[in-house]
Amino acid sequence: MRPAAGRRRAPAVPVLSIGGLDDIRPGSLLVAMPALTDPTFAGTVVYVLDHSDSGTLGVVLGRPSQVEIRDVLPGWCDLAVDPGVFHVGGPCEADTALCLAVSPAAATDEGSALRRVAGDVYLVDLDSDPAELQEELTGLRVFAGYAGWSPGQLAAEVAEGAWACVPGVPDDVLGESAGADLWRTVMGRQTGRLAVLSTAPADPSAN
């Protein structure tokens, strides 16, 4: 009797892993998936500053404005990386300035102008004296406004597949990439099908 011919199994397709709420923490990135068509966030990369039961706060990376830092905060312009402009951090409180800096060896004693977000990335108190931080910082970037989610709001968006939750690195904050280039850079360093998505349009509505 001849053995029955078995069916050849199709090659396994990697599961599209986009992370979940447990992966969201200060210093992580929320990367807009192609399904996210809200024009405010389509094609964006958001650096998470805080995530708790009270909600989530972050800043959109890679959205430079036309407003020069030297025209608004002249004392800080020499510490800012190029381009020396405000970046649009999100739709919330657009008249509020948030500053992120990178420092490999900052001292964060009580009363320090720096508050660690994650790793070498810090929030900077813009009311402090920039001259006192000049030797500590690799560079900084100033954002106008921020992105915020109320309790449960981001969880629903992640469950819908609107965001991928991936680790961030300091270069994401200070790097030269912006817009779709930043989105592709972040997606391209992921694994599996997320990396494949790096060749897709960051904002499908732009086609």
Residue 107: count other Cβ atoms within 10 Å of its Cβ.
8
The answer to whether 152 and 99 are in contact (CB under 8 A) is no
| Torsion over CA: 38, 41, 44, 45 (sign) | negative
Q: Which helix (H) or strand (E) holds 126?
A: none
Coil, strand, or helix at residue 131?
A: helix
Q: How confident is the model at residue 37 (pLDDT cuts 50, 70, 90)?
A: confident
The pLDDT tens digits of the residues spanning 159-195 come to 888 999 999 999 999 998 999 899 999 988 887 677 6
187, 202, 199, 207: which is closest to 18 by C-alpha? 187
The pLDDT tens digits of the residues spanning 75-102 come to 999 999 999 999 999 999 999 999 999 9
| Torsion over CA: 33, 87, 173, 178 (sign) | positive
> Does the pLDDT of residue 205 top 70, yes or no?
no
What does the chain come to in residues?
Answer: 207
Q: How confident is the model at residue 144 (pLDDT cuts 50, 70, 90)?
A: very high
Dist CA 196 CA 183 (whole Å): 13
Residue that is written with structure tokens 């053995």 in the block: 3
> Does the pLDDT of residue 50 top 80, yes or no?
yes
Question: Alpha carbon of 4 to those of 7, 8, 11, 192: distances in Å?
Answer: 9, 12, 21, 35
Q: How confident is the model at residue 6 (pLDDT cuts 50, 70, 90)?
A: very low
Model-level pTM?
0.85
In the numeric block, which tokens belong to residue 134?
Answer: 């000049």
The pLDDT tens digits of the residues spanning 125-136 come to 999 999 999 888
Q: Which residues pair with 116 in a beta bridge?
A: 122
> Does the pLDDT of residue 40 top 80, yes or no?
yes
Q: Which residues pair with 41 in a beta bridge?
A: none
In the numeric block, which tokens belong to residue 91?
Answer: 């739709």
The answer to whether 79 and 132 are in contact (CB under 8 A) is no
CATH class for the domain made up of 21-206: alpha beta
How is 107-148 classified by DSSP, letter by letter? ---TT-SEEEEETTEEEE-TTS-GGGTTTT-SEEEEEEEEEE
Q: Which residues pair with 200 in a beta bridge?
A: none
> Does the pLDDT of residue 14 top 70, yes or no?
no
